[in-house]
Amino acid sequence: MNIVVAMKQIPDLQQVRIKNRKPILDDVPLTFGNIDRNALEAAVLIKEQVGGSVTVVAAGKEGLEDTVKEALAAGADQAYLIICNEQEDIESSISAKLLAEAIKQLGSVDLVLFGEGSGDNYSSQVGSRVAELLDLPQVGYVERIELTAGELVVTRSLEDGKEVVQVALPAVLTVVTDLNQPRIPSVTQILKAGRKPKKVMSDQELLGAVPTPKVKTLSNLAPEIKRKQIQVGTAVELVEKLQAEGFLGRA
């Protein structure tokens, strides 16, 4: 089975500092979001079960060639990278076009996996948009994937229950983090990753003309945290204060 996993390069969010309510991104290492890793792990597990290949498709800025080694170490066989250095922040509609076009170029694809939302802004649009552009069925909030005789049975995690659906291939799935526990690559795997095939293109090469973005991020401020700095002397006082603040004693 030929599986594609779309992954987004994001800053290592734990490393981002906030200064004057703005994130500082200088020198922050780049990585992939956690849910994207779940999607990749799912793909690798299926491949290990039925054979085939796993291709990572990613659109992002420079550094991507380096970052993708993580995915290649964690079990992907090859990568298709689209470098968009011109764009400040790639808008969902444009990344969807880029990814869909790349997937088309890959030829026969049976399954496309996405994380439900990206680790940084979680707009949750790209998976559905790509499914639309490729004219494929899409199933979201996937927390379990089973493969039987060419068909997928997937469990969707919904707020008030679980839904089990059957999907014909090819299809697009967007997955949630409960799906699995991504593996930690061994040293040998990390070293092999550097030698796995990578195809690198610019967005212009892939699309000809890249559409101009229509959504612009104006600000991205962290919420202001106000510490109340209440001082307490005794445990009883502490309980009282917490009750007064509404942190205790609610049903």
Tell me if 63 contacts another protein by CB under 8 A.
Answer: no
CA–chain centroid gap for 143, Å, is 14
What minimum distance in Å lies between the beta carbon of 181 and another protein? 10
Beta strands 22-24 and 53-60, pairing class: unpaired
By beta-carbon proximity to another protein, the closer residue of 13 and 244 is 13
Q: In the set 27, 135, 159, 160, which binds another protein (CB under 8 A)?
A: 27
What minimum distance in Å lies between the beta carbon of 19 and another protein? 8
By beta-carbon proximity to another protein, the closer residue of 12 and 86 is 12
Is residue 8 within 8 Å of 58, Cβ to Cβ? yes
What minimum distance in Å lies between the beta carbon of 193 and another protein? 10
Number of residues that bind another protein (CB under 8 A): 15
Per-residue b or e along 38-77, where b marks 16 or more CB atoms closer than 10 Å to that residue's CB = bbbbbbbbbbeeeebebbbbbbbbeebeebbbbbbbbbbb
d(CA 99, CA 92): 10
Tell me if 29 contacts another protein by CB under 8 A.
Answer: yes
What minimum distance in Å lies between the beta carbon of 63 and another protein? 12
Tell me if 243 contacts another protein by CB under 8 A.
Answer: no
Tell me if 34 contacts another protein by CB under 8 A.
Answer: no
Mark 170-209 with x for binding to another protein (rule: CB under 8 A) and - for no binding: --------------x-xxx-xx--xx--------------
CA distances from residue 94 to 187, 198, 204 in whole angstroms, order as listed: 36, 22, 12
Tell me if 224 contacts another protein by CB under 8 A.
Answer: no
| Segment near another protein (CB under 8 A); pick from 7-15, 45-53, 103-111, 207-215 | 7-15
Tell me if 12 contacts another protein by CB under 8 A.
Answer: yes
The residues near 9 (Cβ < 8 Å, ≥ 6 apart) are 30, 31, 32, 58, 60, 61, 63, 64, 67, 68
Tell me if 235 contacts another protein by CB under 8 A.
Answer: no
What minimum distance in Å lies between the beta carbon of 190 and another protein? 4
What minimum distance in Å lies between the beta carbon of 73 and another protein? 9
By beta-carbon proximity to another protein, the closer residue of 212 and 229 is 229
Q: Which residues bind another protein (CB under 8 A)?
A: 12, 14-15, 17, 19, 27, 29, 184, 186-188, 190-191, 194-195
